[in-house]
């Protein structure tokens, strides 16, 4: 019950009225400055959003602004505070989601934050330069070596995870029942979360968890598009708290939405998601199965003769495929995470011309025959082939880097897998 | 706040509604026509998925201790339900539902008292006949009283920490005692990491040697976790018997600790904060792992323990030296320390700083080999210690026990014995084979011949009411 209490004092307009307002919003799209705008616009991202390290403080915001092509260069130092204030006001006025008084109350703070010391006050700035972050980043590369310690319980754990993955699943076709949000909006949201994860150097697992929370939440609750990003933000916040050693604080999550939502709103949504998911937050993800298949005690994903570099490349390519599949909810929600992981490894091996694509060791470790994976592999292959022209490019950008062996630059294998 | 109709309105304000059937929310309070519609939409579309969902929604599925007999209560209440006359006849086969039927239907324990008003509604509304959807079940559980603070009476404070307070309480649904861990949400970061991990991981764990989470009450101001109540923790138990435990009891406690831990490890969950304060014990001698606030699922980097939060005494040397390579073995060192403490009546390595802790360890077990932990120990100035034979400082332990203790206190994490293997050690042979064949949720005390002995140092005043030390106990639950 308490879940729904969080909604009071939000607004006193009724749903019908708000819908009209929302339509009005679409017309004033230009002036909007957040991903909220992007979600209804479905504008594709300009390629090559690579940021230099010094830009990182700002890029979460800047990226959003690029899309919305409003004059929100307020983060640039040359802008006069006066001008900024005006623009912020305008944007808030168009943002009818929240009651006006609240927006006005926040104004002075916001302007100060934006024009004066964004790099200083931005929690991101602190995080980027912080030494604390460094060891984690290093250790993340080795994360999937750590399953080895569990070798003793490996079979039990795998059996358990295969059981657990069936327990909390999103409905494959939930989008059909969503009255306002669409699959492409979901894609934009996930794409944006990929960027958020990159900017905050979050564990990849956090992203997978957040997307699974979003899908499960949307399976049960209908959400208006104006609130979709809020659901995504709060889901990422929860996932970070579950998974990260040093989760970013709530201010940063409000900040990355370009202050479209207040801290308080993010916290309310957090509470609502926790309630709807009834705290079932530990479901195994595609990534956890990727780790098991490739780095379990059986090392089943690899041949003994492979170099470490080759092994990593297979792993990263499989991760790239899996993250692409994260962006497109359909058709992948129908597949179990273990199937998606196994299919991604098979396709990675196929793309890199390792034969056989599905070794006896992989059959043994996963319990899957290649034939059981084919329909998922075909979907992944189509997604891979379409990736270059996909409107969302964050995953490709991410995996272009050296850190991931530039795996997204690989071209799809010309032959079908079998 | 709990009125379903209000809830509907409020959820609209957030632009978020329950999918498919917003009438669910009003079905219990509004006219009968709505219920009919709702039922029609419900049955077909959600038949398949809802059955799955009802299984996974374990929030309110309670494993109350069946010892507290319940049959009489059920009969009494079902008698009451016969008095109810349904104002609206919706379905041709309008059978009366007893409390037992409803409990069974909602997968609730049999000893639950259902409010009369709820039983009356169940006889009117179709909840019980149609396939049970996730939302419907949630609604039903909420009407029974789950997830609501009114359901629990606070009886007294057990302890207080920085942002959580633990109360002894009583459930109005079962009359059973509960421990209410109340986490304040005023510190502006929403639900704390520890609570998020503790709840989500504990929900996966159903085992006789792991504390049961009965319910969660989540409001804007606080998050209250409702646990089964156990009389004391191991620390207090040891205090109450003057730190001299019966060796039989030491064996039973250690076995139960290993049993609960092996269960966690098989589910890739590491506890990471084992210490006597986190092991709860009831009158029967059942030991249960508690406080999963630092627990993690599977393979992520360790959170560096902060000295102010977690006692150093049970931390393995590799972690003391900063290792983030860890696995299930991280928990096994602490098991060894606890084993020694139970048997010998004092903590094994009571250091107050990392350096002192390491010195105590090395003094007792000998200096580590130079290449230990990838040379990590090299950066510390470790004096050379000869290993002291364990027996000399653990006079109460026999050869088997010392052998097992040595296997726990192994410098090299990979060589430390696992919980599952330790249970098979000859030390436990005297317990017989039956203790290994129990289903997860069954206590070892169901095995004939397994029982707690009177502890030599036990003071009569000790057991259930522990007035003096009551204040400091359960501090560990307060992270």
Cβ contacts from A onto B, under 8 A: 198
Q: Are residues B220 and B312 in the same domain?
A: no
- Nearest by CB: A8 against B13, B196, B304: B13
Tell me what pLDDT residue A303 has.
72
Mutate to test the interface with B, among A19, A141, A152 (most CBs of B within 10 A): A152
Residue B476: pLDDT band with limits 50, 70, 90: very low
pLDDT tens-digit series, residues B329-349? 889 999 999 999 999 999 999
- Nearest by CB: B266 against A11, A160, A222: A160
Q: Are residues B204 and B257 in the same domain?
A: no
Coil, strand or helix: which one is A50?
coil
pTM, to two decimals: 0.72
Inspect the interface and report whether the beta carbons of A282 and B200 lie closer than 8 Å. yes
DSSP notation for A148-217: GGGGGGHHHHHHHHHHHTTTS---TTHHHH-SS--HHHHHHHHHHHHHHHHHTT--HHHHHHHHHHHHHH
Q: Are residues B303 and B325 in the same domain?
A: yes
Please enumerate, as own/partner, the contacts of A22-31 that have beta carbons within 8 Å and a separation of 24 or more. Answer: A22/A96, A22/A224, A22/A225, A22/A226, A24/A96, A25/A94, A25/A95, A25/A96, A25/A226, A28/A94, A29/A68, A30/A68, A30/A69, A30/A70, A31/A70, A31/A90, A31/A91, A31/A94
pLDDT of residue A30 exceeding 90, the answer is no
Which residues on chain B are in Cβ contact (under 8 Å) with A221? 16-19
pLDDT tens-digit series, residues B77-116? 333 333 333 334 344 444 556 666 666 666 666 666 766 6
Mutate to test the interface with A, among B2, B8, B19 (most CBs of A within 10 A): B19
**A248 → chain B, closest CA residue:** B189
Tell me what pLDDT residue B324 has.
67
Mutate to test the interface with B, among A132, A167, A251, A278 (most CBs of B within 10 A): A278
pLDDT tens-digit series, residues A83-107? 444 443 443 333 333 333 333 333 2
pLDDT of residue A353 exceeding 50, the answer is yes
Q: What is the ipTM of this complex?
A: 0.73
Give the domain A286-409 fold.
Cyclin A; domain 1 (1.10.472)
Which are the contacts of A406, defined by CB distance < 8 A and separation ≥ 6?
Answer: A399, A400
The torsion angles phi and psi of A399, rounded to 5 degrees, stand at: -85, 5
pLDDT tens-digit series, residues A39-55? 444 433 433 333 323 33
Inspect the interface and report whether the beta carbons of B18 and A139 lie closer than 8 Å. no
Confirm whether A170-276 and A286-409 share one CATH topology.
yes
Tell me what pLDDT residue B31 has.
34
**Alpha-carbon distances, residue B326 vs A49, A206, B204, B311, B315 (angstroms):** 37, 20, 22, 18, 12
Q: Are residues B204 and B242 in the same domain?
A: no
Q: Are residues B332 and B265 in the same domain?
A: yes
Tell me what pLDDT residue B108 has.
65
Q: Are residues B399 and B315 in the same domain?
A: yes
Residue B437: pLDDT band with limits 50, 70, 90: very high
Q: Are residues B258 and B356 in the same domain?
A: yes
Q: Which of A339, A265, A234, A239 is nearest to A97 (CA)?
A: A265
Inspect the interface and report whether the beta carbons of A146 and B204 lie closer than 8 Å. no
Q: How far is A24 from chain B (nearest CA, A)?
A: 16
Binding positions of B for ATP: 181
Please give the average per-residue pLDDT across B277-281, as a whole number. Answer: 94
pLDDT of residue A368 exceeding 90, the answer is yes
Residue B70: pLDDT band with limits 50, 70, 90: very low
How many separate domains does chain B show? 3
Inspect the interface and report whether the beta carbons of B220 and A242 lie closer than 8 Å. no
pLDDT of residue A210 exceeding 80, the answer is yes
Q: Are residues B390 and B439 in the same domain?
A: yes
Rounded distance, CA A291 to CA A305, Å?
20
Q: Are residues B281 and B299 in the same domain?
A: yes
Evaluate the omega torsion of the peptide bond into residue A331 and state whether it is cis, within 30 degrees of 0: yes
User: Taking the alpha carbons of B225, B226, B227, B233 in that order, is the dihedral positive or negative?
Assistant: positive
Tell me what pLDDT residue B121 has.
67
Q: Is B351 inside any structural domain?
A: yes
**A12 → chain B, closest CA residue:** B13
Which residues on chain B are in Cβ contact (under 8 Å) with A288? 298
**A148 → chain B, closest CA residue:** B327
Task: Tell me what the pLDDT averaged over chain B comes to.
Answer: 73
- 3-state per-residue secondary structure call for chain B: CCCHHHHHHHHHHCCEEECCCHHHHHCCCCCHHHHHHHHHHHHHHCHHHHHHHHHHCCCCCCCCCCCCCCHHHHHHHHHHHHCCCCCCCCCCCCCCCCHHHHHHHCCCCCCCCCCHHHHHHHHHCHHHCCCCCHHHHHHHHHHHCCCCHHHEEEEEEEEECCCEEEEEEEECCCCCEEEEEEEECCCCCCCCHHHHHHHHHHCCCCCCCECCEEEEEECCCEEEEEEECCCEEHHHHHHHCCCCCCHHHHHHHHHHHHHHHHHHHHCCEECCCCCHHHEEECCCCCEEECCCCCCEECCCCCCCCCCCCCCHHHCCHHHHCCCCCCCCHHHHHHHHHHHHHHHHCCCCCCCCCHHHHHHHHHHHHCCCCCCHHHHHHHHCCCCCCCCCCHHHHCCCCCHHHHHHHHHHCCCCHHHCCCHHHHCCCHHHHHHCCHHHCCCCCCCHHHCCCCCCCCCCCCCCCCCCCCCCHHHCCCHHHHC
**Alpha-carbon distances, residue A391 vs A277, A375, A387, B212, B215 (angstroms):** 30, 24, 9, 48, 44
Inspect the interface and report whether the beta carbons of A146 and B299 lie closer than 8 Å. yes
Residues of B with catalytic annotation? 273
pLDDT of residue A274 exceeding 90, the answer is yes
Q: Are residues B221 and B245 in the same domain?
A: no
pLDDT of residue A291 exceeding 60, the answer is yes
pLDDT of residue A328 exceeding 60, the answer is yes
Task: Give me A239's structure tokens.
Answer: 């996932």
pLDDT of residue B213 exceeding 50, the answer is yes
Q: Domain end: B198, B228, B258, which one?
A: B228
Tell me what pLDDT residue A8 has.
31
Cβ neighbours, 10 Å, residue A384: 23
Q: Is B52 inside any structural domain?
A: no
Q: Domain end: B199, B228, B257, which one?
A: B228
Please give the average per-residue pLDDT across A108-136, as a whole number. Answer: 32
pLDDT tens-digit series, residues A187-208? 999 999 999 999 999 999 999 9
Q: Are residues B437 and B325 in the same domain?
A: yes
Tell me what pLDDT residue A67 has.
39
Domain extent, residue B313, equals 232-446
Q: Where do the domains of chain A lie? A: 170-276, 286-409
Tell me what pLDDT residue B319 has.
82
pLDDT tens-digit series, residues A293-313? 876 545 655 777 788 888 889
Question: What is the percent of chain B where pLDDT is above 90?
Answer: 36
Q: Are residues B241 and B389 in the same domain?
A: yes
Rounded distance, CA B376 to CA B297, Å?
26
CATH number at B182 reads: 3.30.200.20
pLDDT tens-digit series, residues B402-422? 999 999 999 888 889 999 999
Q: What CATH number does the domain located at A170-276 have?
A: 1.10.472.10
Question: What is the percent of chain A where pLDDT is above 90?
Answer: 47
Question: What is the percent of chain B where pLDDT is above 70?
Answer: 60
Which residues on chain A are in Cβ contact (under 8 Å) with B303? 245
Tell me what pLDDT residue B9 has.
33
Binding positions of B: 181
């Amino acid at each position: 019950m308490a879940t729904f209490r969080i909604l009071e004092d939000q607004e006193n307009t009724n749903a019908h009225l708000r819908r009209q307002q929302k339509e009005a919003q679409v017309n004033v799209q230009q002036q909007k400055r957040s991903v909220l705008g992007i979600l209804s616009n479905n504008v594709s991202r300009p390629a090559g959003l690579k940021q230099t390290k010094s830009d990182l403080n700002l890029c979460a915001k800047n990226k959003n602004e690029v899309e919305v092509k409003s004059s929100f260069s307020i983060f640039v130092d040359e802008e006069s505070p006066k001008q900024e204030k005006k623009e912020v006001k305008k944007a808030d006025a168009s943002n009818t989601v929240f009651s006006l008084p609240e927006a006005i109350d926040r104004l002075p703070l916001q302007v100060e934050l934006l024009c004066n010391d964004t790099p200083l006050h931005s929690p991101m700035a602190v995080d980027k330069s912080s030494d604390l972050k460094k060891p984690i980043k290093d250790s993340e590369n080795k994360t999937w070596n750590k399953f080895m310690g569990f070798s003793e319980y490996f079979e039990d754990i795998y059996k358990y995870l295969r059981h657990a993955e069936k327990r909390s699943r999103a409905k494959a076709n939930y989008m059909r029942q969503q009255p306002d949000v669409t699959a492409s909006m979901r894609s934009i949201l996930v794409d944006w979360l990929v960027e958020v994860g990159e900017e905050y150097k979050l564990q990849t697992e956090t992203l997978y968890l957040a997307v699974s929370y979003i899908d499960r939440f949307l399976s049960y609750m209908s959400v208006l598009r104006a609130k979709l990003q809020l659901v995504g933000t709060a889901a990422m916040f929860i996932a970070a708290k579950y998974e990260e050693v040093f989760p970013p604080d709530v201010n940063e999550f409000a900040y990355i939405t370009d202050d479209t939502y207040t801290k308080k709103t993010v916290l309310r949504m957090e509470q609502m998601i926790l309630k709807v998911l009834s705290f079932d937050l530990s479901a195994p993800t595609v990534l956890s199965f990727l780790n098991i298949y490739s780095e379990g005690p059986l090392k089943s994903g690899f041949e003994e003769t492979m170099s470490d570099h080759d092994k990593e490349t297979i792993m990263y390519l499989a991760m790239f495929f899996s993250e692409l599949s994260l962006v497109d909810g359909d058709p992948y929600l129908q597949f179990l995470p273990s199937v998606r992981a196994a299919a991604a490894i098979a396709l990675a091996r196929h793309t890199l011309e390792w034969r056989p694509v599905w070794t006896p060791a992989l059959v043994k470790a996963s319990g899957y025959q290649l034939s059981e994976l084919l329909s998922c592999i075909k979907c992944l292959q189509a997604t891979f082939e379409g990736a270059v022209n996909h409107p969302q490019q964050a995953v490709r950008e991410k995996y272009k880097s050296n850190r991931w062996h530039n795996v997204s630059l690989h071209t799809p294998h010309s032959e079908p897998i079998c | 706040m709990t009125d379903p109709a209000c809830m509907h309105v409020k959820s609209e304000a957030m632009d978020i509604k329950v999918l498919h059937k917003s009438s669910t929310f009003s079905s219990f309070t509004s006219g009968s026509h709505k219920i009919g519609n709702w039922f029609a939409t419900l049955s077909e579309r959600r038949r398949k998925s809802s059955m799955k969902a009802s299984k996974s929604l374990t929030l309110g599925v309670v494993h109350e201790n069946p010892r507290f007999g319940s049959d009489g209560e059920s009969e009494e209440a079902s008698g009451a339900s016969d008095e109810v006359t349904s104002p609206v006849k919706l379905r041709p086969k309008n059978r009366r539902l007893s409390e037992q039927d409803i409990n069974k239907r909602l997968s609730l324990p049999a000893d639950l008292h259902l409010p009369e008003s709820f039983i009356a509604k169940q006889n009117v509304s179709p909840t019980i006949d149609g396939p049970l959807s996730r939302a419907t079940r949630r609604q039903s559980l909420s009407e029974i009283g789950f997830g609501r603070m009114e359901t629990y009476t606070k009886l007294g404070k057990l302890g207080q920490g920085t942002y959580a307070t633990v109360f002894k309480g009583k459930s109005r649904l079962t009359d059973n005692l509960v421990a209410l861990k109340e986490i304040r949400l005023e510190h502006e970061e929403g639900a704390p990491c520890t609570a998020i991990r503790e709840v989500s991981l504990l929900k996966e764990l159903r085992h006789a040697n792991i504390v049961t989470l009965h319910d969660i009450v989540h409001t804007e101001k606080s998050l209250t976790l409702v646990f089964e109540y156990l009389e004391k923790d191991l620390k207090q138990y040891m205090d109450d018997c003057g730190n001299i435990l019966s060796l039989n009891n030491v064996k039973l406690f250690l076995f139960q600790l290993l049993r609960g831990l092996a269960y966690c490890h098989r589910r890739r969950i590491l506890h990471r904060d084992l210490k006597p304060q986190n092991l709860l014990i009831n009158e029967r001698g059942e030991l249960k792992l508690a406080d999963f606030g630092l627990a993690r699922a599977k393979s992520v980097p360790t959170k560096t323990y902060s000295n102010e939060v977690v006692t150093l005494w049970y931390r393995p040397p590799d972690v003391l030296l900063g290792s983030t390579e860890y696995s299930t073995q991280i928990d096994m060192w602490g098991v060894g320390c606890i084993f020694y403490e139970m048997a010998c009546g004092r903590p094994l390595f009571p250091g107050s700083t990392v350096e002192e802790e390491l010195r105590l360890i090395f003094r007792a077990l000998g200096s580590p080999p130079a290449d230990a932990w990838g040379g990590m120990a090299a950066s510390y100035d470790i004096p050379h210690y000869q290993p002291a034979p364990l027996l000399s400082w653990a006079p109460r332990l026999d050869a088997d026990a010392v052998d097992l203790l040595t296997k726990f206190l192994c410098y090299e994490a990979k060589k430390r014995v696992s919980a599952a293997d330790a249970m098979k050690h000859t030390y436990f042979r005297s317990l017989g084979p039956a203790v290994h064949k129990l289903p997860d949720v069954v206590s070892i005390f169901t095995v004939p011949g397994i029982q707690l002995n009177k502890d030599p140092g036990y003071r009569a005043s000790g057991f259930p009411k522990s007035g003096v030390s009551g204040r400091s106990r359960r501090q560990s639950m307060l992270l």
